[in-house]
């Protein structure tokens, strides 16, 4: 399954395009996407911090998804790192 992952916050700063494409097996869960993204990030983003990925949320067009939940069939996802400020 082809995943189109939109990047926000610190992840957007690591990739100016703001979106990356990843391949996962059909019927993958969000936790699988998290693992594949970790490998991609280690290979492509020198400023990558694994801790940021661990505390980030993944969202579909409908809402936030937990690691055990299935990725939507359309493969459209976003990663949302924690934010701070006021």
Question: Over the stretch 9-49, which tens digit does the pLDDT of each residue have?
Answer: 999 999 999 999 999 999 999 999 999 999 999 999 999 99
What's the predicted TM-score (pTM) here? Answer: 0.93
Domain-wise residue ranges, the chain: 2-80
Domain 2-80, architecture per CATH: Roll (3.10)
What confidence tens digit (pLDDT) does each residue in 62-86 have? 999 999 999 999 999 999 999 865 4
Listed in sequence order, the residues at least 6 apart from 4 whose beta carbon sits closer than 8 Å to its beta carbon are 19, 21, 75, 76, 77
Residue with tokens 């936030």: 64
């Amino acid at each position: 399954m082809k995943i189109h992952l939109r990047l926000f916050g610190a992840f957007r700063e690591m990739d100016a395009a703001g979106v990356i494409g990843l391949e996962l097996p059909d019927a993958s869960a969000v936790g699988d996407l998290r693992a594949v993204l970790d490998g991609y990030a280690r290979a492509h983003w020198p400023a990558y911090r694994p801790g940021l990925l661990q505390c980030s949320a993944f969202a579909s067009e409908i809402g936030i998804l937990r690691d055990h939940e299935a990725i939507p069939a359309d493969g459209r996802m976003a990663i949302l790192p924690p934010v701070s400020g006021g």
